[in-house]
Structure formats: C-alpha cells, structure tokens
Structure 1
Amino acid sequence: MKTFTLPQTDVRASSIVLGQMRIMDLDDEQLRTLVGTALDAGVNVIDHADIYGGERHACERRFGEAIRFSPAERENVLIQSKVGIREGYFDFSAEHIMRTVDESLEALGTEYLDVLLLHRPDTLVEPDEVATAFSELHNRGKVRHFGVSNHTPGQVELLKSVVAQPLIINQVQLSVTHAPIIASGIAANMVGLDQSIDRDNGMLDYARLNGITLQAWSPFQKAFFDGVFIGDRENFADLNDVLDALAEKYGVTPTGIATAWITRHPANIQVVLGTTTPSRVAESAAGSDVHLTREEYYRIFTAAGHTLP
C-alpha cells in the first residue's frame, strides 16, 4: 500500500481511503469484513459524512454500531467526516458545524475526528463563523485536522484569511474519464478545445503549492454518477483495452490500474473508494503500489478520450 505524510502534518496516510457512503445495506459481519480487508491491505483512512445513508448520520451510526476500535487501534486509524449539506441548502454557520460534529462523534462512537471537511461550498459563508467553529472544535480535542471538499482555490483562500488551523485536504471528483483538474492544464490556451476550459481555477497546482492533499471521489465513474467505465466497452473500448493490457503486465486488475493512474501523480492524490465489496478494496490497494511509466500514464489519459495538443 502506498503511503505518504499528509502535508502540514506529521500524519502518515494511505493512498486509498475507504468511503462509507453505501454501507447501510451491510450487516455487522459484512461491514466488519469490509473494514478488516481494508485495514489488512494497509488502508488507514475512513471517510464519512453526516448526510450519508438517507437520514442524517445514518451511515456513521451504522459504522459505530458494527465497528469498535480499541484505543490503540483508534490511534492508527484516521476517521474523517464532512459537514455543511442540509436538506435544500448549505450551512457553514458555527452553530451547525459544532452541533453536527457532536452528533457525528456520538454516532461513530469516537471521541474525536481526525479530519473534518466542509462538504460543498456555501456561498453565504461567513469565514469568521467557520474560524470560530474550527477553533472551538480543535481546542476541545474534538477535531484534529481540517479541510474542505469541492472547493476552488479562491474559496479556500477566503477561509484561510481567518481560519487559524491549516486546511490540509480538498476532496474533489476525479477519475481518468472525469479529469478536468488535470486535463485543462494539459490543453491550456487551446482555443476551441473544450478540454482547455479551466473549470476550477487551477485547483491541482494550487493544492501542490499550498500543501493541500486532493482526495478523488468517484474514481471509477464515467462522469457524474452515470456508471463506471471499467468494463464499459460500448463507450470506452480503447480505455478498457489499455487497462486490461497494463493489468496483465503488472499482475493487478483493471480496477488496480485505474487506481494507479490517480496515485501515480506526484501530488499524492488519494483515492476514495465507494465500494462495499472487499475484493475491490484489495484490488485498489494493490494498484496503489503500481508506478506507471510516463508513457503508460499518458496512454491511459488519451485512451480515455483526452487530447494531447
């Protein structure tokens, strides 16, 4: 399992993150097997959000019911959750952030979160309110580190203008077929080429310059929740041919190669898995150890439909 030290911290993290968005249909034994497989493979980051599971904190509560870490085990696992999405609107008020964290801690059965992320940008954000909430949570030992999800560099800078704690993570959508944070920079300044449009204000370069780790959600999705590209030969035949060939070369699965394409980037991008299938976790973990050559990286990129000018 590829690991690295999260910038701005002394925390060692796995390149694979076990997402918990879809665990509601798992019984206790199935959930323990899923988590156990991930831990055995070297995964030490577990991702939650207050909205996962239909009802607020449903997946966190399901996890807390099935998984009980000893104090020593808990210190070796990084649990992160997210806050800010409410029914029909976003809310970064200090009151909502602090109340939600307390609810998450109770549901998860833990005394602290290793990381708290602001889930989606709230255009009505008052940075002073976020700063108040973060400082209160940090000072009381309820949250150790902070970050954001789906935020642009400008939105991060606005928060950083008053938030005392470092913002160490930005969780964003990324797969080889949905890669605007990478593809736009490769095709910069190409008039008439849609790929050249910068849709996130240089998020990738900003993250690298500012010590922010990107976490890739939906790493195998074609675009936005419209199915996976692995095995889809009707729409991605060339890509699947390349994935199959490289999987055979490196002794992993196509899922492992799709993972390797993300973890190969020198930005140390983490891959957030949404699967509830233990074997897929193991496949992705194995893929994180594959170091693609530059030629292979760009071969996958172009096979996915992107342009090299």
Structure 2
Amino acid sequence: MLRTLPLHKRHIPASRIALGCMGLGGDWDHQPITAEHIKQGHEAVDAALSIGINMFDHADIYTRGKAEKVFGQIFKDRPELRENIIIQSKCGIRLMEPGDTSNVFDFSGAHILNSVDGILSRLGIEYIDILLLHRPDPLMDPEEVAAALHKLKAAGKVRHFGVSNMSAGQIKLLQAYCDEPFIVNQLHLSLAQISWVDAGISVNREPWKDITFPEGTLEHCRTENIQIQAWGPLAQGLFSGRSLENQPENIVNTAAMVQRIARERGTTPESIVLSWLMTHPAAIQPVIGTVNPLRIAACADADKLELTRKEWYDLYVSSRGQKLP
C-alpha cells in the first residue's frame, strides 16, 4: 500500500509526485526568456496536471532565475492556477559570476530575505507555500537563519519551511533555534543513487565506513514527519531509454530488469523506477526533473503501483552490483 505523504499530515494536499522546474528557461546564461520557453513551460505544466501533479519545485538559481520567470508568465496567462497548485522554491546558493572561483553557499539573513523577494517577484505571486534552504552553509549562524525565517513567516511571504541536502544533525541544529518546523528534506535518491539504502543495511559491517550518506537522516525525517523528497529520481533516464554505452554492468543489467518488470506490469520504465522509491515505507516524494511532456506522462502509473518485496530487492541488488550478506 502506497504511503501517505507526511505533507498531508500537515494539511498540505501535495501530489505523490512533484515536478521539478530546473529545465525551464533555456540555458544557464543571462539571455532573456523567449516565447518558446513560455510555450515549453505551459506544455510541461499541462502534462503534469494531466497526471495529477499539483506541486512544482523551483530554486532561485534555476537557469539563473529564468525558470521562475517562465512560471511567472504562466501565472499571468492563467491566474486561476495559483490557488490550485503548491509552489516550492529554494535559496542559499550564490552562482559563480565572472571573476569568481566557485559557487558559494549563503544562509546569511540578508541573502535569505533578498532571495525570497526575488523569487516572489519573478513568479509574480505574493507567497510561496514552501521555502527550502538549498545546501548546507558551513558559515551558517542558526539564530540568524531563524530570525530571517521568522520575518518571512510574519510577512506572509512563506507558509512553510524545509531544507535540501541536509543530515539529521544539521536539521536538528537549525530546528533548535527556529520556531517553525522544517517539513521537507530534499535529497539525491534514485535507483542509481542507492547510498541511502546501503547506509541502513551496512550498519555494523566493514563497508559502512565508506558510505557517505549520513547515518540516521531518513530515520530522523520519518520520526519527525519531515517529507523526504527525492531529486534526480529518474536517474537522468538511465533505466528508461537513455544510451547505456560505457555504463557499468550493474546499470545495464538493472535497466534490462526495469524494462522486463515494466512489460510484466503493463506500464512504463519511468513508472517502475519511481515506484521503486515510492514503495519504500518512508513515503518518499519524487521530484521529477524532466519538462518533456511525453516523459512526464510516462510517470502516470507510478503512484498506482507498488512493487513486491522481491521486485524491490531484485532491483536494489542489481543496482548495487553485489549480493546482500
């Protein structure tokens, strides 16, 4: 039985799958958005709505703000859409500009407040439903973060808060200073990115020391009703039609297994790949990154399927490339 999303327990009627909007707006440059970009956005939204998706995931950096600008134009064209969907965005990354040596992470209060004002301006809306802090900032002052989030909530600019790419310890530190609960943790999880499973089954075994996924993160999120979201859940099409040239044997074998199970179930490989995540009892919410209407439509069966224990383990063991102890 597919699990109820923790978001529902907080009276947020989110769909089991969200659409990630990083692919909107063209290239990651400073060129303006075009009519073609807006057309692509409408088509992606329509495809998502047609399979029951009502949650859309953004970030202030996606295509340097152009993804949100495209969505802002969609809202202008279809103002009735706003109250029927859930908008999530992220802040906390400063993209590298000419003369810089790297992107940097910034959880300063001023950056968070300015970022949200930019998000709202580009989207052309008065509030966002959920704001995520994008990647952990080593220089973070949790009291400063808490003050910024309090201002955003009090001003009605953000209704709920969450994080992305954070461990249980990092969430606990922030939560100790913030009155508002963090209700989302968005992590890199997929049938190709399986360290989150390996971390659990390798406790008290030698391989555990080489696993980088932070111990206890999934368990903390489940205990605290924090929605676990998966970015990159389709593994960039590795198991659903992308060329497998030069891919390792475990990926090739897993792709073949996905195709076989899809045929047996009368569905698409995309739905099987997502169902592998969604069958997990943590009620993981995939955030699919494609804006191709055909690939979005191919995900339609994912929230209707539940893999058997054998299917789930067969896929996991195939992807990891070695048997369980």
TM-score normalized with structure 2 length = 0.87
**Contact 2:20-2:288 at 8 Å conserved across structures:** yes
Is residue 2:290 matched to residue 1:275?
A: yes
Deviation string, structure 1 residues 197-241 (Cα, Å, up to 9, x no partner): 35312211111111111111111327xxxx734342753222122
- The Cα shift of 1:4 comes to 3.5
Partner residue of 2:99? none
**Which residue is 1:218 aligned to?**
232
1:112-136: CA deviations, max 9, x gaps?
Answer: 0000000000011111111111111
Name the CA distance, whole Å, in 2 between partners of 1:205 and 1:7.
Answer: 19
Is the CA contact 1:48–1:60 (under 8 Å) kept in the aligned structure 2? yes
1:45-194 equivalence runs, <5 A: 45-53=55-63, 55=64, 57-68=65-76, 73-87=81-95, 88-191=103-206, 193=207
The 8 Å contact of residues 112 and 144 in structure 1, kept in 2 or not, is answered as yes
Note the C-alpha offset of 1:173: 0.4
Aligned in 2, Cα 1:188/1:251: closer, same or farther, shift over 3 Å? same
Return the offset for 1:111.
0.8
Shift of 1:14: 1.2
Q: Is the 8 A contact 1:81 1:113 kept in 2?
A: yes
Aligned to 2:53: 43
Match of 2:33 in 1: none
Which consecutive unaligned segments of at least 5 residues does structure 1 have? Answer: none
Aligned-partner Cα distance in 1 for 2:43–2:79 = 20
Give the aligned length: 302
Amino acid across the alignment from 2:105: F
Please tell me whether the aligned partners of residues 6 and 225 of structure 2 are also in contact (alpha carbons under 8 angstroms): no
Rounded to whole Å, the distance in 2 between the matches of 1:3 and 1:68 is: 33
Report the Cα offset of residue 160 of structure 1: 0.4
Larger mean Cα displacement after TM superposition, 90-99 or 194-203: 194-203
Which residue of 1 is the match for residue 29 of structure 2? none
SS in structure 1 at match of 2:62? coil
> CA 1:7–1:28 in 2, change beyond 3 Å: closer, same or farther?
closer
Q: Are 2:262 and 1:247 aligned? A: yes
CA contact 2:198–2:211 (8 Å) conserved in 1: no
- In structure 2, give the amino acid aligned to 1:277: N
Letter of the 1:63 counterpart: F
C-alpha RMSD over aligned residues: 2.1
**1: distance between equivalents of 2:199 and 2:233?**
18
Structure 2 counterpart SS, 1:303: helix
- The aligned amino acid for 2:229 is Q
1:9 aligns with 2:14: no
The residue aligned with 1:29 is 39
> In structure 2, what is the Cα distance between the partners aligned to 1:97 and 1:241?
45
Aligned equivalent of 1:20: 21
CA contact (8 A) 2:42 2:74 kept: yes
Counterpart of 1:146 in 2: which secondary structure? strand
For residues 64-101 of structure 1, the C-alpha deviation after alignment (integer angstroms, 9 at most, x for no partner) is 12343766532221101100001331111111111110
TM-score (norm 1): 0.91
1:202 maps to 2:216 = yes
Structure 2 unaligned blocks of 5 or more: 27-35, 96-102
Q: Percent identity?
A: 40
Q: Secondary structure at the match of 2:159?
A: strand
Cα deviation code 1:7-43 (max 9, x no counterpart): 6611121121111111123532221111011012110
1:299 counterpart SS class: helix
What SS class does the counterpart of residue 228 from structure 2 fall into?
strand
Helix, strand or coil for the counterpart of 1:31? helix
Partner SS state of residue 116, structure 2: helix
Residue 112 of structure 2 aligns to a residue whose secondary structure is helix
The code of the aligned residue for 1:76 comes to N
